Amino acid sequence: MPTVTNGNVDIHYEDTGGEGRPVVLIHGWPLSGASWSDLTPAVRDAGYRVVAYDRRGFGRSAKPGESSSYDYDTLTSDLDALMTALDLRDASLVGFSMGGGEVARYVGTHGQDRVHSVVFAGAIPPCLLKDDEHPDGALDLDTVAQMQQGLRADREGFLDGFLTNFFSADGELKVTEEQRQQALALAAEADLHAAAECIRSWVTDFTGDLAAITVPTLVVHGDSDAIVPIEVSGRRTHEAVAGSDLVVIEGGPHGLNTSHAAEFNAAVLEFLAR
């Protein structure tokens, strides 16, 4: 099982290999790199080298539990360890949902020397926090704490409801029940402490990180996202990154890379080809 080690934490990854430009896929919460199963073959078949990894505490990566922090500086250090160990250069970073945080923080912290372009897909930047400084945000700290408590008290019930909303638009499930169950199976692999702590990381402010981005940027978002509203995130990221492209998928829920896989893949592939 291929891994890279950051400190004492082993990060699992899958690598299609090949000579093409690398495309690094960073998954959303509470899933793993396996959630990219619709995009990976399309990108690989287009001639790119695809690398997808599992965030620490999720999938087949190590689960350090309470001995680890799950803030974005720590999480992004895992991405940096992967980029360095595999010597990935001229790479396109594709971050879905929570994974968009690693994309933004990577550029903000480690620069763009290894980066060709970036994609924010249903992603949480620039800032989901709702407080006095961010009155138009989506999540206040009380709600974050309630979500953490709900997950810890009834993991199965919480994830069942969350992943229903994840794949729903206007109250209607946009994937098959089999696809939703596959997502639940991936979520079941996550460490409970890691999953709960990552909820707190969702409200990180990435405004300064987005300001550092000068490489080509794609923002793709569903207009019916009930988890990460496009008005709070996708449109604001597009406005924050000069020259970025915005693709809005009509009727797309949060999990648009599964529910609208053909449209999503086409948008990403068109962007990568530039």
pLDDT tens-digit profile of 40-95? 999 999 999 999 999 999 999 999 999 999 999 999 999 999 999 999 999 999 99
CA 269 to chain centre: 18
- Do residues 173 and 260 make contact, with C-beta atoms less than 8 angstroms apart? no
State the average pLDDT over residues 5-23. 96
Q: What is the pLDDT of residue 1?
A: 82
Cα 92 from Cα 119, distance rounded (Å): 8
Count of beta carbons in the 10 Å neighbourhood of residue 154 = 12
Please report, for residues 16, 223, 241, the alpha-carbon distance to residue 246 in angstroms, rounded to integers and kept in the order given: 28, 12, 10
Task: Give, for 197, the enclosing helix (H) or strand (E).
Answer: helix 192-201
Instruction: Name the nearest CA neighbour of 72 among 44, 109, 36.
Output: 109
* Strand positions, DSSP E, 54-204: 91-96, 115-121, 168-169, 172-173
State the average pLDDT over residues 213-227. 98
Q: How confident is the model at residue 99 (pLDDT cuts 50, 70, 90)?
A: very high
Strands 115-121 and 217-222, bridge-based pairing:
parallel
- Residue span of the structural domain in which 107 resides: 3-272
State the average pLDDT over residues 235-239. 98
Cα 243 from Cα 137, distance rounded (Å): 24
Q: What is the pLDDT of residues 129-144, one digit of tens each?
A: 999 999 999 999 999 9
Number of domains in the chain: 1
Q: What is the pLDDT of residue 265?
A: 98
Lowest-confidence pick of 18-22, 102-106, 123-127, 245-249: 18-22
Active site residues: 97, 225, 254
Rg (CA), the chain: 17
Q: What is the DSSP string of 25-89?
A: EE--TT--GGGGTTHHHHHHHTT-EEEEEPPTTSTTS---GGGS--SHHHHHHHHHHHHHHTT--
Please report, for residues 74, 90, 117, 163, the alpha-carbon distance to residue 189 in angstroms, rounded to integers and kept in the order given: 20, 32, 30, 14
Mean pLDDT of the chain: 97
Give the domain CATH number at 97: 3.40.50.1820
Sign of CA dihedral 196, 197, 200, 201: negative
Q: What is the pLDDT of residue 123?
A: 98
Q: How confident is the model at residue 185 (pLDDT cuts 50, 70, 90)?
A: very high
Query: SS3 of 129, please?
Result: strand
